[in-house]
Amino acid sequence: MDTSNIILVGPPGAGKGTQAIMLREKLDALYISTGDLFRSHLSNETDLGKEAQKYMSAGELVPDALTINMLSQELEKKADDHGFILDGFPRNVVQADALSELLDRKDLSIDLVLFFNVPNDELVRRLSTRYTCKVCQAPQNINESEGNATPKCNLCEGELYQRSDDAPESIKRRLDVYDEETKPILNYYEEQNLLTEINSVGSVEEVFTRVEGALQ
Protein backbone atom coordinates (compact mmCIF):
# COMPACT_ATOMS: atom_id res chain seq x y z
CA MET A 1 0.00 0.00 0.00
CA ASP A 2 2.99 2.30 0.37
CA THR A 3 2.70 3.95 -2.99
CA SER A 4 -1.03 4.69 -2.76
CA ASN A 5 -2.31 8.17 -3.44
CA ILE A 6 -5.24 8.97 -1.20
CA ILE A 7 -7.60 11.92 -0.83
CA LEU A 8 -9.55 12.57 2.38
CA VAL A 9 -12.86 14.43 2.03
CA GLY A 10 -15.48 15.24 4.61
CA PRO A 11 -17.35 18.06 6.28
CA PRO A 12 -15.58 20.07 8.99
CA GLY A 13 -15.79 18.06 12.19
CA ALA A 14 -15.99 14.64 10.52
CA GLY A 15 -12.78 13.54 12.23
CA LYS A 16 -10.73 13.69 9.06
CA GLY A 17 -7.75 15.30 10.77
CA THR A 18 -7.63 12.67 13.53
CA GLN A 19 -7.87 9.80 11.06
CA ALA A 20 -5.26 11.46 8.84
CA ILE A 21 -2.72 11.37 11.67
CA MET A 22 -3.33 7.65 12.19
CA LEU A 23 -3.23 6.91 8.47
CA ARG A 24 0.01 8.81 8.12
CA GLU A 25 1.60 6.57 10.74
CA LYS A 26 0.42 3.47 8.94
CA LEU A 27 1.42 4.52 5.42
CA ASP A 28 4.79 5.96 4.59
CA ALA A 29 3.33 8.70 2.42
CA LEU A 30 3.74 12.44 1.97
CA TYR A 31 0.98 14.03 4.05
CA ILE A 32 -0.42 17.35 2.87
CA SER A 33 -3.11 19.23 4.79
CA THR A 34 -3.93 22.56 3.18
CA GLY A 35 -5.56 23.72 6.45
CA ASP A 36 -2.34 22.96 8.39
CA LEU A 37 -0.26 24.68 5.72
CA PHE A 38 -2.37 27.84 5.90
CA ARG A 39 -2.22 27.80 9.71
CA SER A 40 1.54 27.47 9.62
CA HIS A 41 1.80 30.39 7.16
CA LEU A 42 -0.39 32.30 9.58
CA SER A 43 1.77 31.64 12.60
CA ASN A 44 4.88 32.54 10.58
CA GLU A 45 3.10 35.74 9.52
CA THR A 46 3.85 35.26 5.83
CA ASP A 47 1.97 37.31 3.21
CA LEU A 48 0.07 34.18 2.21
CA GLY A 49 -0.83 33.56 5.84
CA LYS A 50 -2.18 37.09 6.28
CA GLU A 51 -4.21 36.85 3.08
CA ALA A 52 -5.59 33.39 3.95
CA GLN A 53 -6.61 34.45 7.44
CA LYS A 54 -9.24 36.85 6.06
CA TYR A 55 -11.09 33.93 4.53
CA MET A 56 -10.38 31.29 7.17
CA SER A 57 -11.73 33.20 10.14
CA ALA A 58 -14.93 33.90 8.19
CA GLY A 59 -15.29 30.21 7.34
CA GLU A 60 -14.82 30.89 3.60
CA LEU A 61 -12.53 29.04 1.22
CA VAL A 62 -9.19 30.68 0.47
CA PRO A 63 -9.18 31.66 -3.25
CA ASP A 64 -8.38 28.77 -5.60
CA ALA A 65 -5.33 30.36 -7.22
CA LEU A 66 -3.53 30.74 -3.89
CA THR A 67 -4.54 27.30 -2.67
CA ILE A 68 -3.67 25.44 -5.87
CA ASN A 69 -0.30 27.15 -6.09
CA MET A 70 0.55 26.22 -2.49
CA LEU A 71 -0.57 22.64 -3.04
CA SER A 72 1.41 22.20 -6.22
CA GLN A 73 4.61 23.39 -4.52
CA GLU A 74 4.04 20.98 -1.67
CA LEU A 75 3.45 18.07 -4.02
CA GLU A 76 6.95 18.62 -5.42
CA LYS A 77 8.25 17.11 -2.18
CA LYS A 78 6.83 13.73 -3.08
CA ALA A 79 9.46 11.03 -3.49
CA ASP A 80 9.09 8.63 -6.43
CA ASP A 81 8.56 5.52 -4.36
CA HIS A 82 6.09 7.01 -1.88
CA GLY A 83 2.44 7.93 -2.15
CA PHE A 84 0.62 11.00 -0.87
CA ILE A 85 -2.32 11.73 1.41
CA LEU A 86 -4.25 14.92 0.67
CA ASP A 87 -6.30 16.26 3.57
CA GLY A 88 -8.61 19.20 2.84
CA PHE A 89 -7.76 19.43 -0.85
CA PRO A 90 -9.54 19.49 -3.26
CA ARG A 91 -12.46 21.34 -1.73
CA ASN A 92 -14.36 22.27 -4.89
CA VAL A 93 -14.59 21.15 -8.51
CA VAL A 94 -12.12 23.78 -9.77
CA GLN A 95 -9.50 22.40 -7.38
CA ALA A 96 -10.36 18.82 -8.32
CA ASP A 97 -9.80 19.63 -12.01
CA ALA A 98 -6.56 21.43 -11.22
CA LEU A 99 -5.37 18.41 -9.25
CA SER A 100 -6.15 16.03 -12.12
CA GLU A 101 -4.10 18.18 -14.49
CA LEU A 102 -1.25 18.46 -12.04
CA LEU A 103 -1.16 14.69 -11.52
CA ASP A 104 -1.48 13.96 -15.25
CA ARG A 105 1.58 16.04 -15.91
CA LYS A 106 3.53 14.02 -13.34
CA ASP A 107 2.12 10.74 -14.60
CA LEU A 108 0.45 10.15 -11.25
CA SER A 109 -3.10 9.22 -10.39
CA ILE A 110 -5.47 9.02 -7.46
CA ASP A 111 -6.09 5.53 -6.06
CA LEU A 112 -8.73 6.18 -3.44
CA VAL A 113 -10.97 8.96 -2.13
CA LEU A 114 -12.21 8.41 1.40
CA PHE A 115 -15.39 10.28 2.27
CA PHE A 116 -15.88 10.72 6.03
CA ASN A 117 -19.60 10.98 6.61
CA VAL A 118 -21.26 12.32 9.78
CA PRO A 119 -24.80 13.75 10.27
CA ASN A 120 -25.01 17.55 10.57
CA ASP A 121 -26.19 17.89 14.19
CA GLU A 122 -23.28 15.73 15.33
CA LEU A 123 -20.86 17.95 13.37
CA VAL A 124 -21.99 21.11 15.13
CA ARG A 125 -21.63 19.43 18.51
CA ARG A 126 -18.12 18.20 17.71
CA LEU A 127 -16.87 21.49 16.27
CA SER A 128 -18.00 23.61 19.16
CA THR A 129 -16.04 21.46 21.64
CA ARG A 130 -13.02 21.12 19.38
CA TYR A 131 -9.56 22.27 20.43
CA THR A 132 -6.37 22.05 18.41
CA CYS A 133 -2.79 21.37 19.54
CA LYS A 134 -0.45 24.33 19.01
CA VAL A 135 2.47 21.97 18.55
CA CYS A 136 1.32 18.95 16.49
CA GLN A 137 -2.02 20.35 15.18
CA ALA A 138 -3.97 17.29 16.36
CA PRO A 139 -7.65 18.11 16.90
CA GLN A 140 -9.38 16.89 20.08
CA ASN A 141 -12.68 17.35 21.86
CA ILE A 142 -12.81 18.87 25.32
CA ASN A 143 -16.01 18.81 27.38
CA GLU A 144 -16.77 21.56 29.87
CA SER A 145 -17.51 18.75 32.30
CA GLU A 146 -13.91 17.58 32.18
CA GLY A 147 -12.98 20.35 34.60
CA ASN A 148 -11.11 23.59 34.13
CA ALA A 149 -7.54 22.33 34.31
CA THR A 150 -5.62 23.71 31.31
CA PRO A 151 -6.10 21.00 28.71
CA LYS A 152 -3.02 19.46 27.11
CA CYS A 153 -2.63 17.55 23.87
CA ASN A 154 -3.12 13.83 24.44
CA LEU A 155 -0.44 13.04 21.87
CA CYS A 156 2.39 15.44 22.65
CA GLU A 157 1.31 17.35 25.79
CA GLY A 158 1.33 20.55 23.71
CA GLU A 159 -0.89 23.47 24.60
CA LEU A 160 -4.41 23.40 23.12
CA TYR A 161 -6.28 26.37 21.66
CA GLN A 162 -9.64 26.95 20.03
CA ARG A 163 -9.30 27.84 16.34
CA SER A 164 -10.92 31.16 15.45
CA ASP A 165 -12.94 29.38 12.77
CA ASP A 166 -14.40 27.05 15.42
CA ALA A 167 -16.43 29.99 16.73
CA PRO A 168 -20.22 29.42 16.30
CA GLU A 169 -20.74 31.93 13.41
CA SER A 170 -17.86 30.48 11.40
CA ILE A 171 -19.00 26.90 12.04
CA LYS A 172 -22.37 27.60 10.42
CA ARG A 173 -20.71 29.23 7.41
CA ARG A 174 -18.17 26.40 6.99
CA LEU A 175 -20.96 23.81 6.93
CA ASP A 176 -22.81 25.83 4.26
CA VAL A 177 -19.64 26.23 2.21
CA TYR A 178 -19.09 22.49 2.47
CA ASP A 179 -22.63 21.79 1.19
CA GLU A 180 -22.37 24.25 -1.68
CA GLU A 181 -18.77 23.86 -2.79
CA THR A 182 -17.30 20.62 -1.55
CA LYS A 183 -20.20 18.17 -1.83
CA PRO A 184 -20.12 18.28 -5.66
CA ILE A 185 -16.67 16.68 -5.67
CA LEU A 186 -18.21 13.53 -4.15
CA ASN A 187 -20.10 12.94 -7.40
CA TYR A 188 -17.03 13.87 -9.38
CA TYR A 189 -15.01 11.07 -7.75
CA GLU A 190 -17.94 8.67 -7.58
CA GLU A 191 -18.18 8.87 -11.37
CA GLN A 192 -14.51 7.90 -11.55
CA ASN A 193 -15.17 4.96 -9.23
CA LEU A 194 -12.71 6.26 -6.68
CA LEU A 195 -15.06 7.10 -3.82
CA THR A 196 -15.41 5.00 -0.65
CA GLU A 197 -17.69 6.23 2.10
CA ILE A 198 -16.57 5.81 5.71
CA ASN A 199 -19.23 5.99 8.38
CA SER A 200 -17.48 8.33 10.81
CA VAL A 201 -19.85 7.97 13.74
CA GLY A 202 -18.23 5.92 16.49
CA SER A 203 -14.97 5.93 18.40
CA VAL A 204 -11.71 7.00 16.76
CA GLU A 205 -10.59 3.36 16.79
CA GLU A 206 -13.82 2.09 15.27
CA VAL A 207 -13.60 4.60 12.45
CA PHE A 208 -9.95 3.78 11.83
CA THR A 209 -10.81 0.09 11.53
CA ARG A 210 -13.22 1.06 8.74
CA VAL A 211 -10.47 3.12 7.08
CA GLU A 212 -8.11 0.15 7.21
CA GLY A 213 -10.86 -1.98 5.67
CA ALA A 214 -11.19 0.49 2.80
CA LEU A 215 -7.44 0.27 2.08
CA GLN A 216 -7.55 -3.49 1.50
- Taking the least distance from each CB to Zn ion, the nearer of 2 and 159 is 159
Which of ligand ADP, Zn ion, none has residue 137 at its interface (CB below 5 to 8 Å by kind)?
A: none
* Amino acid, res. 82: H
State how far the Cα of 171 lies from the Cα of 187, in Å rounded to an integer: 24
| Interaction of residue 61 with ligand ADP, rule CB under 6 A | yes
CA 57 → CA 51, 62, 67, 203, distances in Å? 11, 10, 16, 29
Which of ligand ADP, Zn ion, none has residue 208 at its interface (CB below 5 to 8 Å by kind)?
A: none
CB neighbour burial string for 59-72, b if at least 16 within 10 angstroms, e if fewer? bebbeeeebbebbe
8 A C-beta contact, residue 207 and residue 10: no
Q: Is the dihedral of CA 171, 172, 173, 176 positive or negative?
A: positive
Q: Which helix (H) or strand (E) holds 191?
A: helix 184-191
| Interaction of residue 115 with ligand ADP, rule CB under 6 A | no
CA 111 → CA 146, 193, 195, 210, distances in Å? 41, 10, 9, 17
Which of ligand ADP, Zn ion, none has residue 207 at its interface (CB below 5 to 8 Å by kind)?
A: none
Q: Name the one range near Zn ion by CB under 5 A: 1-9, 29-37, 127-135, 200-208.
A: 127-135
| Interaction of residue 158 with Zn ion, rule CB under 5 A | yes
| Interaction of residue 151 with Zn ion, rule CB under 5 A | no
Q: Name the one range near ligand ADP by CB under 6 A: 40-48, 61-69, 115-123, 196-204.
A: 61-69
| Interaction of residue 35 with ligand ADP, rule CB under 6 A | yes
Task: Considering the candidates 24, 134, 163, 183, report the single residue annotated as catalytic.
Answer: 163
Residues taking part in catalysis: 16, 91, 130, 163, 174
User: Contact residues for ligand ADP (CB under 6 A)?
Assistant: 12, 17, 34-35, 38, 55-56, 59-62, 67, 88-89, 91, 95, 165, 174
